[in-house]
């Protein structure tokens, strides 16, 4: 029973971290969470230990945990890894993906969100994750699926944290459709190129927005910058000479 409760709490807390209901840098203690979710401290502790193993929370001696902060260098590292993994997944999917799965991808690609509607944007992010996970599934490599699923959990925190300053809905829909069409044509070089270019454009948009939100340039030195109205909404900005400000 306790194991079942711990699993349920793990999923609930993880979702709140990914959607930034529990925000980066926010302090959380087991008694507070037990009261919040009306559960005992044992399943809360087990859920937090599991989330700590995944890097979504960090233990703080004599206090409890904090939700793992997000740094500009973290985001850069995520995109570097994503470019490697998704390019490989796209190539493999084009070479050996089952036709039925590739046709399903074409259907998933046709998705957009309503600009400034946060709920619509959140639904789009879930759909976006499913699209990219499905490309990995079509590659036939279960390890790619596993690693990309975990990576997208981390990236979705970034996507939920930043408000989209411009309407990129149609652009992202077009990128997804272009990739799906390349996969249906069984063109591995084209699929790999489209995936790589799409990720590079996304990286430019996201880093430019985060740096703008933090109010620092590329020489910002290890400072914690307050974002928005909540006292727990923090972005950690680190000095990084290889961060370039892109445009949308």
Q: Tens of pLDDT along the chain (248 residues)?
A: 455 888 999 999 999 999 999 999 999 999 999 999 998 899 999 999 999 999 999 999 888 999 999 988 999 999 999 999 999 999 999 999 999 999 999 999 999 999 989 899 999 999 999 999 999 999 999 999 999 999 999 999 999 987 667 888 999 999 999 999 999 999 999 999 999 999 999 999 898 888 777 654 433 323 333 333 343 344 443 433 333 333 33
User: What is the CATH architecture of 2-67?
Assistant: Orthogonal Bundle (1.10)
* Contacts by residues 234-237 (CB-CB < 8 Å, ≥ 24 positions apart): 234/23, 234/24, 234/25, 234/26, 234/69, 235/24, 235/69, 235/70, 235/71, 235/72, 235/161, 235/210, 236/24, 236/25, 236/69, 236/70, 236/71, 236/72, 237/71, 237/72, 237/211
3-state SS class at 139: helix
Enter the CATH code of domain 72-237: 1.20.120.530
**CATH 1.10.10.10 domain span(s) along the chain:** 2-67
**CATH 1.20.120.530 domain span(s) along the chain:** 72-237
């Amino acid at each position: 029973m306790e194991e079942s409760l711990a699993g349920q709490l793990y999923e609930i807390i993880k979702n709140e971290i990914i959607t930034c209901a529990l925000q980066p840098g926010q302090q959380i203690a087991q008694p507070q969470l037990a009261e919040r979710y009306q559960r005992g401290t044992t399943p809360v502790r087990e859920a937090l230990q599991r989330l700590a193993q995944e890097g979504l929370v960090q233990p703080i001696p004599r206090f409890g945990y904090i939700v793992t902060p997000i740094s500009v260098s973290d985001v850069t590292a995520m995109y570097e890894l994503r470019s490697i993994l998704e390019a490989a997944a796209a190539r493999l999917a084009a070479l050996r993906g089952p036709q039925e799965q590739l046709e399903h991808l074409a259907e998933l690609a046709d998705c957009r969100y309503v600009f400034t509607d946060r709920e619509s944007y959140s639904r789009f992010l879930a759909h976006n994750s499913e699209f990219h996970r499905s490309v990995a599934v079509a590659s036939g490599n279960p390890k790619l699926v596993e690693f990309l699923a975990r990576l997208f959990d981390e990236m979705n925190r970034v996507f939920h944290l930043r408000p989209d300053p411009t309407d990129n809905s149609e652009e992202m829909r077009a990128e997804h459709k272009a990739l799906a069409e390349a996969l249906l044509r069984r063109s591995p070089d084209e699929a790999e190129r489209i995936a790589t270019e799409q990720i590079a454009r996304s990286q430019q948009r996201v880093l430019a927005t985060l740096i703008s939100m933090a109010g620092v340039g590329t020489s910002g030195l290890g400072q914690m910058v307050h974002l928005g109205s909540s006292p727990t909404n923090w972005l950690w900005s680190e000095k990084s000479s290889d961060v370039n400000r892109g445009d949308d």
